[in-house]
Amino acid sequence: MSDLRDLYQEVIFDHNRNPRNFGKLEGANHKAEGFNPLCGDRLTLYLKVDDDGVIEDVAFDGKGCAISVASASLMTEALRGKPVAEAEALFRGFHDLLTDGHGAPVELGKLKVLEGVKAYPSRIKCATLAWHTLESALHDEDEPASTE
Amino acid sequence: MSTATDKMAPAGAPALDVERIRADFPALHQEVHGKPLVYLDNGATAQKPQTVLDTIAQYYGRDYSNVHRGAHTLSERITAAYEEAREKVRAFINAPESREVVFVRGTTEAINLVAQSYGRVHLRKGDEVLITELEHHANIVPWQMLSDQTGATLKVAPINDAGEVVLEEFERRLGPRTKLVAIAHVSNALGTILPVAKMTEMAHAHGAKVLVDGAQAAPHQAIDVQALGCDFYAFSGHKLFGPTGIGVLYGRAELLAGMPPYQGGGEMIREVTFERTTFADIPQKFEAGTPHIVGAIGLGAAIDYVGAVGLTAIAAYEHELLQYATARLSEVPGLRIIGTAADKAAILSFVLEDVHAHDVGPIVDHEGVAVRTGHHCAMPVMQRYDVAATARASFAMYNTHAEVDTLVHALHRVREMFAR
């Protein structure tokens, strides 16, 4: 079972049970929906970006598997107070982490607990759903972000 | 179906020697994550007995050629085998004539064939197609496409909380405009066995033709299209322990004869000039191009295998296994079974409180257990029960009570991991 624990680390259970920044965000100025048609995971992401392009506040709600909920929760923690450009860099770094990409190294901090997902190709979309939704929120796309 | 019994089979029915059957399926004898494989994803596709594998090897390895071009020995040999497979299918579903058996890629193609050939000709604006709420996407989407093309309307008969079609509601939706009724024989997501003969009778009373999606029924119970009274019956080879890419459309001869071809090409013609083409008789009219020859012959071998075991014995054994599995799974805290119809095939869909189905899948996989998780290509069913996804254990004749125990053990592991 050891490799299963690589996927389901305690931090992931913690964030699944008690997702941080969960709920609607009053005064959000960006919002997007994400949908994973393969597993039916759905989430809505709310962002408040200030005039200097800094993510002042962020929240999400929705339903999903432990990996997608924990990933969304961890993402919101990582994003608060970050300039949008840094958020985009984090997404690239996170994506590289899960797909063995070769982009410039990015300091991912706690997000690294999701590295175990790499061994489960069918679950990578669960881990990246929140980040794809972030992209649509930042670009104010009307269509729900899809992992497909 | 027989009633609940602790025995392997009710009195009078031949018993099933599960260990002997298991010995015939090489794929069952392997380990996954260091644990013996427990294959409970038969609703998605079934494993293959050695006789099917040997038949495929024989026909690709020695007796291989193309069919119906019989100027040489190999072609005559394989044409005979291909047509013999058609006759085996005919007998398997008790169709009156073998020319009523059309080889297709699978259930999905069979339904699309009826929608695009029969449906395009016979349906007009304002006509209706009636399906039920528990249908697989393959028995929804082709009718939506047909409705878009013809202006026909798609109507849906509801199910109750147990997952049974509400017959009064079904009947109420039948009318003079109902041209086609398309229903599952067994629901892939809920396990419900539909009263197809009765529903067919109701539909025929209104002059509608009836197509039955038999994908989930064919491996588990005897099929008799004459007793059912249906006009079309579709099933797939791969769920019946046969190869992928081969399936069957049964259609009543007078209907098939009146239908235009589905695809044009070789094999399906009588004479071609640039001005005009005349088509072959049924079933060749619907088999354009080189068919999946060895697939059909492999399906014939699978039918022989299932026939030797006996579908009555299979149905009785699986029914008892379902009773056992239902009782054992109900012991798992927080587990809710989705689909509790009185008449059910050996399919158990369930959700675990506070655990998403997609987290159940990999954890039980690490105990060697293969189940499907997701919407099972029946999103409207998931919406009906307000769940995003379920886990589904679907059984076959080679599954054992001990395997049910392993599944239950694995589900307790899931609970442990998600506790605290």
How would DSSP label each residue in B108-159?
Answer: HHHHHHIIIIIIHHH--TT-EEEEETT--GGGTHHHHHHHHHH--EEEEE-B
What integer pLDDT is reported at residue B14 of this predicted model?
Answer: 60
What integer pLDDT is reported at residue B7 of this predicted model?
Answer: 38
Alpha carbon distances (Å) from A114 to A17, A80, B372: 16, 19, 23
Ordered strands of the A41-49 beta sheet: A55-63, A41-49, A30-36, A145-146
What integer pLDDT is reported at residue B196 of this predicted model?
Answer: 98
What integer pLDDT is reported at residue B121 of this predicted model?
Answer: 96
What integer pLDDT is reported at residue B231 of this predicted model?
Answer: 98
Cis status of the peptide bond prior to B49, with omega within 30 of 0: no
- CA separation for the pair B195, B166 (Å, rounded): 11
Q: Number of Cβ pairs closer than 8 Å across A and B?
A: 47
pLDDT exceeds 50 at position B6: no
Q: Give A132 to chain B, closest Cα distance, Å.
A: 19
- CA separation for the pair B334, B330 (Å, rounded): 9
Catalytic residue among B377, B379, B387, B408, which? B377
Token pair 């009718």 is found at B143
CB-CB neighbors (< 8 A) of B382 in chain A: 40
- CA separation for the pair B180, B208 (Å, rounded): 5
Q: Which residues 340-359 in chain B show a CB within 8 A of chain A?
A: 355-359
Nearest CA to B241 out of B39, B80, B13 is that of B39
Nearest CA to B247 out of B219, B215, B225 is that of B215
Nearest CA to B301 out of B92, B101, B19 is that of B92
pLDDT in tens, B215-250: 999 999 999 999 999 999 999 999 999 999 999 999
B420–A67 C-beta distance less than 8 A: no
What integer pLDDT is reported at residue B355 of this predicted model?
Answer: 93
- Which pTM does this prediction carry? 0.92
pLDDT in tens, B152-193: 999 999 999 999 999 999 999 999 999 999 999 999 999 999
| A42 vs B: CB within 8 A | yes
B356–A64 C-beta distance less than 8 A: yes
Q: Which of A13, A40, A67 sits opposite B375 (nearest CB)?
A: A40
Residue B226 per-residue DSSP state: H
CB-CB neighbors (< 8 A) of A66 in chain B: 355-356, 359, 418
The pair phi, psi for residue A2, each rounded to 5°, is: -60, -40
Question: Please, what is the Cα angle at B92 between B23 and B203, to 5 degrees?
Answer: 130
Nearest CA to A76 out of A147, A13, A14, A22 is that of A22
Q: Is B377 a catalytic residue?
A: yes
What integer pLDDT is reported at residue A37 of this predicted model?
Answer: 80
**β-strand B178-184 against A145-146: which pairing, if any?**
unpaired
Residue B41 per-residue DSSP state: B
B299 near B243, Cβ under 8 Å?
Answer: yes
pLDDT in tens, A71-112: 999 999 999 999 999 999 999 999 999 988 888 788 899 999
pLDDT in tens, B123-159: 999 999 999 999 999 999 999 999 999 999 999 999 9
pLDDT bucket at B28, cuts 50 / 70 / 90: very high
pLDDT in tens, B83-111: 999 999 999 999 999 999 999 999 999 99
Q: What is the mean pLDDT of the segment spanning B369-387?
A: 92
pLDDT bucket at B317, cuts 50 / 70 / 90: very high
pLDDT bucket at B13, cuts 50 / 70 / 90: low
Token pair 């209907």 is found at B255
Tell me which residues of chain A have a pLDDT lower than 70.
1-2, 142, 147-148
B103 near B287, Cβ under 8 Å?
Answer: yes
